[in-house]
Amino acid sequence: MATDVTIPPLGESITEASVGQWLKQPGDAVKADEPIVSLETDKVAVEVPSPVDGVLTEHLAAVGDTVAVGSAIARVEAGAAAAAPAPKAEAPKAAEAPKAEAAKPAAAAPAPAAPAAAEAEAEADYDAISPAVRRLLGDYHLDPASITGSGKDGRLTKADVLTAIDNGSAKLLSSGAKPAAAAPKAARNEERVRMTRLRQTIARRLKEAQNTAAMLTTFNDVDMTAVIAARDTYRDMFEKKHGVRLGFMSFFVKAVTLALRDVPSVNAAIEGDEIVYRDYADIGVAVSSPGGLVVPILRDADKLSFAETEKAIGDFGRRARDGQLKLDELQGGTFTISNGGVFGSLMSTPIINPPQSGVLGMHRIEDRPVVRNGQIAIRPMMYLALSYDHRLIDGREAVTFLVRVKEAIEDPARLLLDM
């Protein structure tokens, strides 16, 4: 008996999604509640499970197709067993060849033949990889040969790559190595890949922010000496007690919540002809995912401890990479922190995430000469950038906010004393 696999409800106001990747192919055995397809919504990837045990008999949509909530996307034959692959036909024996031909010794193959065959085989294997998996390999600069595929005929799936990244078994391409997909130098190839729904949403919202808000960016720098010293002193004790590493982000989250309390307009939003002020701080922390940048929300961040903050951020990062963030974790937020420093950024002008009115950009820590007590000293410095909606936030308020953050980071005791 064939059973339709339908698209479940995906969250408030979401009526459709795109097929991102088929996790099971026709003829594969599936179990009840086993994911068979990954869908891409405007915010996250959602896996749709099989409703019954059986065999997947048919795909009703192709990768990239838009599917509506409630529509059938595949069929499963309940209770059926997977068909065994047919044995490959043996090549016909050359029994009719003249004996003289059989007696002739085989000609020696040219020396380059073996490398050429291996290269052709590697290129053929890469061609069998889906575009979504290719993008993921390219994003992380991974060697596909170092990852074991679990798909049909040993093909790589997105889950295989993410698992290899998580357990550290995936190998990076060496600086001199070329990916298996590299075409001969004489070739000039192009590949057209449809934008994911997440990337389309990111593009649309960023452009809306530029068209709507009167955006301006103010910069400052911060001496990280005190925070680095505190982290080095208490890192081992902190991890032993709380089971999580002490990073820099929890210091900045705390510093931002104190600054938002002192400069409430940065935590406010414009709605029509009204300004909405909040007495709480829901901080969005931008994290990287295979599909693009996502911003999960730390609810009531002003009430979280350092350990609670670090645990939440670490959990967000892992689940963003695995595509397991929930929709409600990406909605709302009153202010955003984006850390481009983890990718090596020295300075940038981040774009606000509407309807928020501000975003703080962190950057890489770099030893630079600065003047301290009339003497030139080498200190670990970081540039901070606050992009804000100038319709709501004046320059004086923006500068005051950055100075509050700077003071709290350069004197971490303020974070403990709520100053």
Catalytic residues: 390, 394
Please spell the DSSP secondary structure of 247-305, one letter per residue: -SHHHHHHHHHHHHHHSGGGG-EEETTEEE--SS--EEE-EEETTEEE--EETTGGG--
Q: Are 131 and 286 in contact (CB under 8 A)?
A: no
Q: Which amino acid is residue 341, in one-letter code?
A: G
Residue recorded with tokens 């981040």: 350
Buried b (16+ CB within 10 A) or exposed e, 119-135: eeebeebbeebbebbbb
Rounded to the nearest 10°, the torsion over CA 135, 139, 142, 144 is 0
Q: What is the CA radius of gyration of the chain?
A: 27
Q: Across-strand partners of 270? A: 275
Residue 395's alpha-carbon distances to 219, 267, 275, 334, in angstroms, are 11, 15, 18, 19
